[in-house]
Structure 1
Amino acid sequence: MADQHQEPRAPGNGAANPTMLDLDALGRELAVSIPGFGALQSATKFSDGQSNPTYLLLAEGKRYVLRAKPPGQLLASAHQVDREFRVLKALHGSAVPVPEGLYLSPEQSSIGRMFYVMSHVDGRILWDPALPDETVEGRRAIYDSMNRTLAALHNVDVNAVGLADFGKPGSYFERQIARWAKQYRASETEKLEDMDWLIDWLEKHDACDDGQVALVHGDYRIDNMIFAHHGAEVLALLDWELSTLGHPLADLAYQCMQWRLPNRGNFRGIGGLDREALGLPREADYVRTYCERRGIDIPQDWIFALAFSFFRIGAIIQGVVKRAQDGNASNPEKARQLAAAVPLVARMARDLVNKGE
């Protein structure tokens, strides 16, 4: 879902796209809302990403990024770009690198829906977690940088950055399971036995709640980050749409789900690869390093956290598929291709639970 800061893959200003922007009206709004913005010259929609349409703006030689709600009828509690903007404002200048949030529009904006504008971060997005173009040493450094950034995120004092009310304390997994089960049912296009089984298992499972509360990203993976052009430094963590206060284990398990997903088709995982030869860390080592950085114990309910991660990504993908059917997807063709992924992740989760590893 990281679609903010890579160069767009097609030229033009989106005039042929159903989510095209009224440049004149938008330019007038931004000129009076962002100091030094100047005259808007173009708005190019990024081709990747499935959630909130995102555009590269050019204004008198300067670059900005606009992220908007999708058009059309939306699920309740989805696409809250104002929450994303709040996180950017709270974390800017902290140990967690983020773009600077510059402007949040009202719902009735010049483009007819809520959006925000943030600074453009010059760097690279690494779309394939196998990092085929990196050296062994480069891969180790990049994964260690991601690990360090995740630990820094979960060490943020939410009271100090003004996010103490960003979510409800306690019962995080219980509330998330209820929320995503509801979202999944609202987006369901066919009955999937494995998904029904998984939801039932998660609802009945007594997940351990040890009281940890942190700012969680909600979609923590390699292609939601901007890295330095040369080196492993994370310059910006992107796409905060699913962020909230919750249990940090959710972010850790969500990223480690990539160790199990295949590296083929619509999946960008590192499952089935010779990770030792490639210089990619073992899952257990990645978890241990994270825990050492945070000064916490190794998680005891790891299978549950992983199963929850598979369930949630399945629910998210199903939402994309439903929007494609309704004509509201940011990338309709890719959304249709993703339809086959939902039964696959549900089956993987069920097998994980049954095998216990």
Structure 2
Amino acid sequence: MSEDTLPLSVLDLSPIVSGETAADALRNTVDLARHAERLGYRRYWIAEHHLSPSVAAAAPSVLIALVASATRHIRVGSGAVLIANYTPLLIAEQFGTIAHLHPGRIDLGLGRSGSKRFAEVAADSGRAPAGHVLVTGRTSVVDDVVIPAKTSISFDTELFQIKARLLGQVDGANDDYAGQVNDVLSFFRGDYRSPEGVELRALTAENADLQVWVLGSSAGASAQAAGEYGLPYAANYHLGGATVLESVDAYRSAFRPSGHLAEPYVTVSVDVIVAEDDATARELASPTALWVLNMRRGLATGAFPSVADATAHEWTDDERAHVADRISTQIVGSPATVVERLHRLRKITGADELIVTTITHDHSDRVRSYELLAEAWKPDTASG
């Protein structure tokens, strides 16, 4: 991969696949990070999920520190650390500590999650059983890129409240998201003042050589905060494809130059699987739909299934509709097919960078997917 090429990065969920354990998934994360570094990917980001039967990335700061220690120069960060599960002080101290030991290599991606965000979805949850997909709007195609219909997933509100309590979330955890982001930044700057006017300093955070990002899925609080503070923004296509265009537009409209950035900078996340030919790639991608279905229906046995398990599943029309928004945005195929579609996505979003997430049942297929993409991502194709 050349420096002249639009940068590609990696988003890893540490997937737990059927027949393996969380320990296997975590070891695979470290292994994949080393491969990503060798292949020239710019960043390696770790997601955050809790109490999941299929995702082992539950402690992003810990895993980021381990990956940074196992690599030499690739940037390592959070995609994202969910701010409602911590406090601004804890986030600043944790990531400042890592950055002091790995200066110039750490990205702190801040995500909005918690009571307020889910309260917005809960209004729809009463209209359907838990796990049901509520579709509003229509699917469209923009320059051959699928923009799925807006959807929300109704959920078990009692189960959510239990999880929120276990994570230490409190009511109103995201009521002032921009203020929380500013508090994180203030600890890094060394000028934090409490609401009571008390000046406090977190020396493990001050002067940390890291980059702060905001991740978002809509034109709401995340895009606004990223723009107002002049931070780079990561827009979500693989999970929030329906609103990705309005998300990046809102960020750019809100952007103010800062000490962090003179101009807006956007990376867009995308779900990708590459193989030697289109047919093989489609086979490797076939378990994704069943995995998404199981997760959305809250099944405890939600580990990423094998191709054989996916093939054996007898789909109903309702089930296919249940996962259509996720599967329609997945980019699958040979290197040439995937490169062409990625450049279309880059064109309509104006992305400065793309961050790729790849999940296959066999770890070797996942590594090979990233290898094939890196080899095909040439400077003469980067113009889109």
TM-score, scaled to structure 1: 0.30
Q: Which has the higher strand share?
A: 2
